[in-house]
Amino acid sequence: MSLANLNGRVAWIFTEENFDVDLIVGVKNMKITDIKELSALAMQTYDPDFVSLIRAGDLIVGGANFGYGHPHYPSLRALRHLGISGIVAESFSPGFWRGEISMGTPLISCPGILGAVQRWDEIVVDWAKSAVRNLTRAVTLPLEPLSSGDHAMLESGGLVPYLKRDLQSASA
């Protein structure tokens, strides 16, 4: 089994360092559990048309230390529901990284990405070639390879399926 490449447009670029992901749905909406209600709120302070503009497979691009602070899960839950297929950032904050990889969200650490994309560019995350390609601008950047544990967790679709698979293969 290998990870499927991600192919989509850059739906938004967070250029700021240390971005607090709770702002994606808004701190005051953190306790909403209904996924439809939550996802309708996503990105509203950044682009009120965001929800109608994105297509399944689109990606988010972020700056350095993306996810810093005290990240909660609802924001990425909303983005996944809307079809966002992954986040490509200059670098990630470890707590956010660990939490979202365990949810099966592809996170791609790619130094230089902020300088290589504009909104709505079409990009491909090519795991096998360990690269992010900007098809719109014909630019390619290397991505930082996943650890084998993180790779396996994303392949499985998150923590629970990963552990099930691993435990089954251990007992087989």
55, 8 in Cβ contact below 8 A? yes
Q: Give the one residue of 48, 142, 149, 157 binding other proteins; rule: CB under 8 A.
A: 149
Q: Give the one residue of 50, 98, 121, 156 binding other proteins; rule: CB under 8 A.
A: 98
Tell which positions 28-87 bind other proteins, by CB under 8 A. 28, 30, 64-65, 68-70
Pick between residue 48 and residue 95 the one whose CB is nearest to other proteins. Answer: 95
Stretch that binds other proteins, among 42-50, 80-88, 134-142, 143-151 (CB under 8 A): 143-151
> Regarding beta strands 122-126 and 131-134, do their DSSP bridges make them parallel or antiparallel, or are they unpaired?
antiparallel
Any contact of residue 27 with other proteins (CB under 8 A)? Answer: yes
Q: Give the one residue of 32, 50, 159, 165 binding other proteins; rule: CB under 8 A.
A: 159
> Regarding beta strands 86-89 and 59-62, do their DSSP bridges make them parallel or antiparallel, or are they unpaired?
parallel
What is the C-alpha to C-alpha distance for residues 45 and 168, in angstroms, rounded to an integer? Answer: 45
- One DSSP character per residue, 99-164 reads HHHHTT--EEE-TTGGGT--TT-EEEEETTTTEEEETTTTEEEEPPPPPHHHHHHHHHTSHHHHHH
Q: Give the one residue of 22, 76, 79, 155 binding other proteins; rule: CB under 8 A.
A: 22
Smallest gap from residue 121 Cβ to other proteins (A): 26
Burial 50-73 (b: 16+ CB within 10 A, else e): beeebeeebbbbbbbbbbbeebbe
Q: Which residues bind other proteins (CB under 8 A)?
A: 17-18, 20, 22, 26-28, 30, 64-65, 68-70, 91, 93-95, 97-99, 102-103, 147-149, 159-160, 163-164, 167
